[in-house]
Structures are given as C-alpha cells and as structure tokens.
A and B are shown apart, each in its own frame.
Chain A
Amino acid sequence: MKRFWSANNFTLTALSMLMAVVIGGVLIIISDATVLAKFGYFTARPSDAFESSWLLVSTAYADLLKGALGDPAVFSAWFSGEATWQQAFAPISETLTYAAPLVFTGLSVALAFRGGLFNIGAQGQAVLGCIAAGVAGFTFGLPIALNLIVAVVAGVLGGALWGFIPGLLKARTGAHEVITTIMLNYTAGLFLAWLVIQQGIQAPGRSDAISKAVAESAQLPSPGGVLRVHLGIILAVLTTAGVAWLLNKSAFGFEIRAVGANPHAAKTAGISVAKTYVLLMAVAGGLAGFGGATQVLGTAHALTPSVAGNIGFDGLLVALLGRTRPWGTLFAALLFGALRAGGNRMQSFSGISLELVTVLQALIVIFIAAPALVKAIFRLRASRATGLGASLAKG
C-alpha cells in the first residue's frame, strides 16, 4: 500500500482515470434535467437528489462497462442456451475492433517520440494507409491470401511515404515536423475526399462519396455476424512486440533512443541524426499507415471521406497515455477502444451522448499530462525519481 501511494506511473494513471470518472459523473448529473430538478428542492429532501444522481451515474457507467466487456445477463443467457456465444462476446469484439487501429497509430506516435520527433501526422499517414490499402484492395483482384498481403503492404507503404516527406524535410532543411505533418494531414484528408468521387474509384451507381468495396479476398478475416473483430487486433499485438524489440534490442532502436535523448552526443558518436530522422519518420508513418489499412480492410471495407475517423489524433492521446512505451501504448489503445465500445451502449441505453466518452478520454490524458495536479490532489509522496531538488544542486 505504501508503494501504491508513492507517485509511480501506475498509480498516477489509475488516479487520473478515477478523477476523470468522477468529473464525468458530475457532467452526467448536470446534463440531466430530471435529476437536476431534484436538486431544486435539495434542502427539503436531499435524499431524492442523491438517490436519483447515484442511479443515473451508476446506470450510465454500468452500461459503459457492459458495452465494453460484456453484459452478465447475456452471459447467463448463453449458459442457459437462450443466447449464442457470439452475442456474449460481442462487446469485447467491439472493444478490440475499435482498439486495433489505435494500437498502430499510437505506436507510430510513441516510436517517433522516443526519437525526439513529435509526429502529429499520424492522422494523415493513416489516411494515406487507408487510400493505398483500399485502392489496392479493390483494384488488383489477386488470389486470396496474396490480395490481402498486397493491400496491407500498400497501406504501410502509403503511410511510410507520408511520414518520409516530413522526415526528409526536417533532415534536409530543418523544417519542424510538427508544422509539416499538420499540413500533410490536411493534404491527405482533402486528397481522400477528392479521390472517392473520381471515376474508377467511386462505387458504380452511387452518387454519394464512397468508393468501390474492397474485394472479399483482401479483407481481414473475421468471425462475422455480430462479431466485427478481425485479424487486425492480432496483427496489432504482433506489431507491438515488433516495435518493442526494435526499440530495445535493435541497432536502429539504439540510434532512435540516442538521437531522441541527446542528438548532439549521438552525432558526436558518429550516428547520423539526419538519416535516423528520415528513417524513423518513414517507419512511424508506416505504422500509422498499417492502422489505416486495418481500418479499411477490417472494418469499413470501402473508402469514404471519413473512413479514417480520428484514429491518428486518438493515436496521439494513446501514445501519451501509454507513456510512449510500446506495451503501454497497446494497453492505452485497449482502454480507448473499451471506452468507445462502451460509449455506444451508454448512448443507446442511458441516452448519454457519446461525446461524454471523448470528454473522459480527454480528462484522463489531461490528468496524466499534468502529474503535479494529481499528486497535489491525492498528496502523493514524491518518488525519488521525480524529485526536483536533485537537479538544482551544483558544485
């Protein structure tokens, strides 16, 4: 217990989530007119206000959990033969479906960050991944496994290209990657919107902005039915392992970490900082592109202007929540996926807007980004690693 109350990362993350849930609860209460009315005669009968508030908030969060992990009622129905196992596992399937692309975009941001680069461009890179994977998916008509592999590789390369450009610009001209990647986000989004209404791309006979469907052989395999989960989540776990290996065990990872921590010392030791930046941005872009590819080949199966959703920007938050560590990023993505899946159920059952999930996500990240705040609120003991005093002493 003593260790729990020292300011380590796990404790900070857990308490940040707790704070977000509490504030979210307050938001739920004040946005509900009926419950709010009961606060009108709070002094006369406070129990009314408390009871209805508790009921509202606990139902909402219960729906969130049921939508993310599973509903006990459905599980018992499955055991008594009144529901199928698919129905029981549908919530988890939703969580994993939403999480898969976020793992990739989160890894993209996290890896770049370890090399000292702030990749705001995961969104644009994911969009390029969507485009390349989608177009490859409905164009080539290759045999079954090959078609999928080609489409995934196309997505990765598309994202890599979109990462390579800002990397090259930074290495050659010193252009800051934050500026260039933001600009390339717009470029990618607008290019997608233009592309899906072009002849040869747009689905025949449709007047709205949607492309032809990806060939079935190029889609990521999925159990089907109510279970939307697909191979993407397995690829995401494997990729996380790959990125962890790359970062900690490979020569390139050593270069990334050295350049990220002290580019001057890296340069002095003979590491080419420029080359590392270019390669790193291409790899980070490729990861985000992979995320885009899983989105199109696993879930959407066709290109629309909003096919990539917000996966790139959410990837930023996921990487931050995962503290730019590969496995941490994976778990953060799962949490975001769970919030999103649970939010859907909360919206339809409790009538609470899906935007509350966005608020929760944002609050968690804000608290994590401002650890001093959480430490002050919970009066955590300063852990030695984060002590400020040590850095002030000088001979």
Chain B
Amino acid sequence: MANDHIDITVEPGEVHALLGENGAGKSTLMNQLYGLLQPDEGQIVVNDEPRVFKSPRDAIAAGIGMVHQHFMLVPVFTVAENIALGAEEVRGGPLGWLDRRRSRRDVIETSERYGLPVDPDALIEDLPVGAQQRVEIVKALTREVDLLILDEPTAVLTPQETEELLTVMRSLTAMGKSIVFITHKLKEVKAIADRITVIRRGQVVGTASPDTSEEELAALMVGRAVSLEVEKAPAEPGDSILKISGLVVDDDRGVRAVDGVDLEVRAGEVLGIAGVQGNGQTELVEAVMGLREVRAGAVHLEGEDLVGRSTKRILRSGVGYVPEDRSHDGVVKEFSVAENLILDMYDRAPFGNAFRIDGDSVASNAKHRVEQFDIRCQSPASLVGALSGGNQQKVVVAREMSRPLRLFIASQPTRGVDVGSIEFIHSRIIHERDQGTAVLVVSSELDEVVGLADRIAVMYRGRVLAIVSPDTPREEIGLLMAGITGDTPEGAK
C-alpha cells in the first residue's frame, strides 16, 4: 500500500510542502490528485465539491495543474507550441488549422501576468533546465489552474535557479494560487512553505510549521534522530593516486562531453565534483572506469595507465565504483542480495574461480556484509528488486567497499536514498577516506559535495572551471555551476 488513509487540506494562497523520503508515497498521492491514479478509498474535494478524476483532463478542468519531476515537453517544438499542446487553438472547425498567433499571444499574456519571462519562439531543446521548468509552469497557468503541484521541482536546478523558482512561487501565492510543493530537501521547505505535512510509509506522521528545525523535520521524516552534518576529521592527503590529464570524452550521441579535464586525487582525501547534471561528470567517471571510450588524454592510477584497460581489470586494480544510476547500472534486480554482493568478484577467490562459484562462501559473505552495512532485507536470498532504494544502494556500496581499495569513485552516492541511509553511506565514505583510499565523489546535490569533499572541482560544459575549498560561499560555487567564473582564481586549493 503506497497511501494509507491520508488526509490533507490545501488552503487558497498557501504553499503546502509535502515532505517525505523516497518511496514514502508523495508522488502516489499527487498522482491521484492529478487523475493519473484512482484512489481505492476516500475522496477528493475541490471548493467543497467532491470530484472524481479519471484523467489529468478532469483534474485540469477542476483547476489542478502539475509540473512533473521529468518534464513532459517536446524538445523540437517551440515554447508556444508546447504550451498549446493538448489545448490547441483551432480555427475553422474540427479539420481546421492551428491558430499559432493566438497561442503565441496567450503565452506572452500569461508570462507577463505572472512575471514569468519565457520566449514563445525558442525551441525547448535550446533552453536550460530552469527555463524549461518555467515553461511547464506557464503551461499549467494558461489552463487557469488554482492549485499547482510541483513534484521535486528543485532536483534538476542550480542553486540560483532554485532561488528564482522560490521567488516565482511566492509571487504566485500572492496572487491567490495554491501550491503543493513535493520535496525531500529541508532547507527549501523551511524557506518557502506555509505548512508542512510529513509522510512516512504512506501515512501522515505529522504536520509542522516552517520554523521547526531541520533536525526535527528530518527526525519526523525518518522516524528517528539523524545527524545531517557529515562528521569528519580534517583530511591527511598522501601521495597522488589518480591523475587525469587532458581527458576528452564523447557522449552517446558523439557530442563532446568532457573537454580537456585535468584532475588529481590523492590518498586519504575526498575530491568532490560539483555541477549541474549533464555537464560531463557522468562521462568523465565512465571513461575512468573503462566504460566509455577515451578520445584523448590520460588516466593514471599510481602511474599505471588505465586507458584501454577493461572495466574488469580496472576494478581489480583496486578501484571501487558506485554508478550514478543504481537500478540501471548498479544492481541486477532479478538477482539475490548475495549474488549482487559478488557481481564483480564472482570468479575469483574466495567466491569462485574461472569455472565454478562456491555457494557457501557467497552465502557467508552475504551474511557478513548484510550485518556490516545494515542492509535491511528478509534474507540474503531475497531479490534485490524487493529492497528499498536506500538498501539497494547499500548493497552496491557494500560490494564496492568489500575489498582493499586504492581509489573509490561514487557517482550520486545517495540519489533516491532515504535520509537514514544517506547518513550511513556518508560515514562509510569518510571511513574509506580515513583508511587512506583516494575518493572521488560526483554529486549534483551541492550539500552533499560540500559535506563530503576536502576539495571541490566545479564542472561546467565538460570542463573543470575551478577547484575550490568546501569553505567557499555557496553562492560562489552556485555561480560556478552556472558557468560564471567572475574573479575566482583558477585552480585554487
């Protein structure tokens, strides 16, 4: 059951934050409100009138609009075309033609009325993510909705874009619109919400006012006290372990994704890579791991050239790797926890050899790792697909940390992971660092990078714009993530 007898009321002109961990049931709840799912029990009342929504069309007619986490826009259409899509202005009857001029005028009018600048003639694919989101909001507003649902709207934004979005939300509520703001980011909730409803395991576990402290909110979300700060001692960097020089890598479409990157990670330090998603971080890491072709440049692990080595050999040179997309690249969901824990070591001692796998040692390893990494599962023989996101991630982290490492690479180590598991995974990463392993962490969550890293490299359009200390003001890092260098000295340590 994803939702268990939830009651929630949204007043006109308020921002109602829906706070909960991944898998708590927030999206399920909102999908019912938007007509994408039908409730088994209970009802939706709009302006004192009970309503049944069979599809989003019904919801929109009742004045409810939604901006999804993944935008529903056609990349090759213009802004005006996208906004008209689904409610096209047609002249000349059912077989008539599109009234583009009127669609365009509607867009301009709405964007002026709400102070949301969009260029009606720009192609969606040319727009940055923040602007695309604005298009989605304008689209909902042209349908004259009174209640706007924003599903994790800040997940893809830079800190500056997030600020802008919060300003837009304030002005919308000032004009009497209501907003349901779905998120798991505590800072934003405190900054914008008028009321906060916390959901855990499909149930409302509490409501809070915005002046509740972050610790209290986190405890409400997780069900126990959690520490939000990453606790760590100052790094004691040793010798250089990973050295990347002049690395050039293309993405799947053959477009340059990494364009001449130089980086160095030393033993016993965490190098964090900050940047908005899609600025070459993924490709950089995949190239280091031998999963993507290197066009130019060199990657050395303590002097050994990694370019051209197979992924298996790289992993066995003492490199641990947590891929960013857990369910796509990290685990085999049809495999048991025990099998996933040996996914990259199945054919070597003690688990097996080139021919056979030793079931007993696989099972005892699983038992040990499940305890050590606090993986919550019925048994090591349970399928990984049945585990929560956080526990799946712990399986990946446990696997990659269960052998002596020289280098540990983690991409988005806590994406889609509950607050409790985040705390645990962060402490394991710092523990690995303190053992003298060189650690490279890539994350689009600035908080995570700042919390973990001893040095931060900011990537923008395939290049490292600057290397800064984690004490650098957030605003400055945020500007770098948006590609604005200003007077930041290059290569600051």
Contact = CB atoms under 8 A, between A and B. Distances in A.
Interface of A: 249-252, 254-255, 257-258, 261-262, 264-272, 392-395
A264 B2 CA distance: 29
Contacts of B291: 267-268
A73 B467 CA distance: 91
Nearest to B418: A395
A251 B332 contact: no
Contacts of A251: 346-347, 352-357
A262 B334 contact: yes
A214 to B, nearest CB: 34
A250 B37 contact: no
A265 B27 contact: no
Contact of A394 (B28, B328, B356): B28
B112 interface: no
B20 A395 contact: yes
B293 to A, nearest CB: 13
Contacts of B24: 395
A270 B315 contact: yes
A250 B357 contact: yes
Given A249-B356, A251-B352, A264 B328 contact: yes
Contacts of B20: 395
Of A265, A393, A395, the most chain B CB neighbours within 10 A belong to A395
B414 to A, nearest CB: 15
Of B20, B25, B347, the most chain A CB neighbours within 10 A belong to B347
B29 to A, nearest CB: 10
A254 B346 contact: yes
Contacts of A261: 332-335
B362 to A, nearest CB: 10
Interface in B235-291: 289, 291
A266 B334 CA distance: 12
Given A271-B312, A394-B27, A254 B339 contact: yes
A393 B2 contact: yes
B323 interface: yes
B330 interface: yes
Given A250-B355, A251-B346, A268 B332 contact: no
A265 B329 contact: yes
B357 A267 contact: no
Contacts of B28: 393-395
Interface of B: 2, 20-28, 37, 289, 291, 310-316, 321, 323, 328-335, 339, 343-344, 346-347, 352-357, 359
A270 B311 contact: yes
Contacts of B328: 262, 264-265
B332 A262 contact: yes
Contacts of B347: 251, 254
A269 B342 CA distance: 9
Top 8 A-B pairs ranked by shortest CB distance?
Answer: A270-B312, A269-B344, A395-B23, A393-B2, A251-B347, A261-B334, A269-B343, A268-B329
Contacts of A271: 312, 343-344
21 contacts: A251-B347, A251-B352, A252-B355, A254-B352, A255-B346, A258-B343, A262-B331, A264-B329, A265-B329, A265-B330, A265-B332, A267-B291, A267-B311, A268-B321, A269-B344, A270-B312, A270-B316, A271-B343, A271-B344, A395-B21, A395-B27
Given A251-B356, A254-B346, A392 B311 contact: no
A259 to B, nearest CB: 9
Contacts of A249: 356-357, 359
A334 to B, nearest CB: 28
Of A249, A264, A265, A271, the most chain B CB neighbours within 10 A belong to A265
Nearest to B388: A395
Contacts of B321: 268
A340 B172 CA distance: 74
A265 B395 CA distance: 13
A257 B357 CA distance: 13
A99 to B, nearest CB: 29
A257 B312 contact: no
A250 B353 CA distance: 9
Of A251, A258, A264, A268, the most chain B CB neighbours within 10 A belong to A268
B205 to A, nearest CB: 15
Nearest to B312: A270
A261 B21 CA distance: 28
Nearest to B24: A395
Nearest to B20: A395
Contacts of B352: 251, 254
A394 B36 CA distance: 13
A267 B354 CA distance: 17
B349 to A, nearest CB: 12
Nearest to A393: B2
Nearest to B362: A254
A272 B312 contact: yes
Nearest to B340: A265
Contacts of B331: 262, 265
B332 A258 contact: yes
Contacts of A392: 37
A252 B353 CA distance: 10
A265 to B, nearest CB: 5
A252 B359 CA distance: 14
Contacts of B26: 395
A272 B27 CA distance: 37
Nearest to A250: B356
A395 B310 contact: no
B312 A265 contact: no
A383 to B, nearest CB: 15
A381 B23 CA distance: 27
Given A258-B343, A395-B20, A395-B23, A268 B357 contact: no
Given A257-B335, A262-B334, 8 more contacts: A251-B347, A254-B352, A264-B328, A264-B329, A265-B330, A268-B321, A268-B323, A395-B21
Nearest to A394: B27
Of A255, A267, A269, the most chain B CB neighbours within 10 A belong to A269
